Structure 1
């Protein structure tokens, strides 16, 4: 039952009804024609944020699949590709990749049950409930950033 709640949160954050503002699909549609290198005060660009989000979705998928070797060091290039300048084509590809990896994660989770939540994440000292709650929060945090950068 808890896993179904997390799946619903991921689905809503991705493409459903949210109480805090636009879902990710709506924001991605809105930013698709934006400058992928737009940032605020030299912070992370639209493209960098999106690539970062993709990496962490991949992290969750790899860990569910039992991959102990898939590691993202915080503030590494795998976490934040801060020097990357994106072309429009690369940005559109990132949007498609984000949608694909988000849908893949949701589908994988639909094949699991609540027992997953209590299992330790391979190579980590926390469980999947912590990781999955975290990826929901991560999406909500970054959808706000993407929305603000679109406005700027």
Structure 2
């Protein structure tokens, strides 16, 4: 995604909320909400706060498919991503081998997981977008 949501912003909200089979659920919009929700959990963990799952759910449902709601979802994605990047930028190398509070893995492992999570879902989004191409 260029500038995280740049290319997605040019798609219609209703179209982006649908799956290839024409039903809602499991589409790009839900993936965007999922990524946003988990970025917050990752950030909280990196800040030393115990966080289990996103408050809004693992895959928050899309209930409003208006253009305004789509724009807000992209703003939240960009804002959450920026906060996560700022948190990562403040980390000292010395914390990388340290355990994440309440977890049995290191900060380094968590950061690798964040990257894997983003790459995996970016691939899903790319495939979904391609399926809608004319």
Verify same fold: TM over 0.5.
Answer: yes
What is the alpha-carbon distance in structure 1 between the residues aligned to residue 64 and residue 112 of structure 2?
30
- The alignment status of 1:72 with 2:53, answered yes or no, reads yes
Query: Alpha carbon RMSD of aligned pairs, Å?
Result: 2.2
**Aligned twin of 1:51:** 33
Given that 1:30 and 1:150 are in contact with CA atoms closer than 8 Å, whether structure 2 keeps it comes out as: no
What is the alpha-carbon distance in structure 2 between the residues aligned to residue 150 and residue 53 of structure 1?
16
Name the TM-score, length of structure 1 as normaliser.
Answer: 0.72
Per-residue CA distance 1:93-123 (angstroms, 9 max, x = gap): 1111111111111112111111221111111
**Aligned twin of 2:109:** 130
- The alignment status of 1:118 with 2:97, answered yes or no, reads yes
Per-residue CA distance 1:4-54 (angstroms, 9 max, x = gap): xxxxxxxxxxxxxxxxxxxx2356222222323122356611111001001
Which stretches of structure 1, 4 residues or longer, exceed 4 Å deviation after superposition? none
What is the alpha-carbon distance in structure 1 between the residues aligned to residue 20 and residue 4 of structure 2?
17
Say which structure, 1 or 2, has more relative contact order (CA 8 Å, 6+ apart). 1
Name the TM-score, length of structure 2 as normaliser.
Answer: 0.80
Gaps of 5+ in 2: none
What is the alpha-carbon distance in structure 1 between the residues aligned to residue 19 and residue 35 of structure 2?
16
- What secondary structure sits across from 1:39 in the alignment? coil
Cα distance change of structure 1 residues 134 and 63 upon mapping to structure 2, 3 Å threshold: same
What is the alpha-carbon distance in structure 2 between the residues aligned to residue 90 and residue 111 of structure 1?
32
**Aligned twin of 2:6:** 29
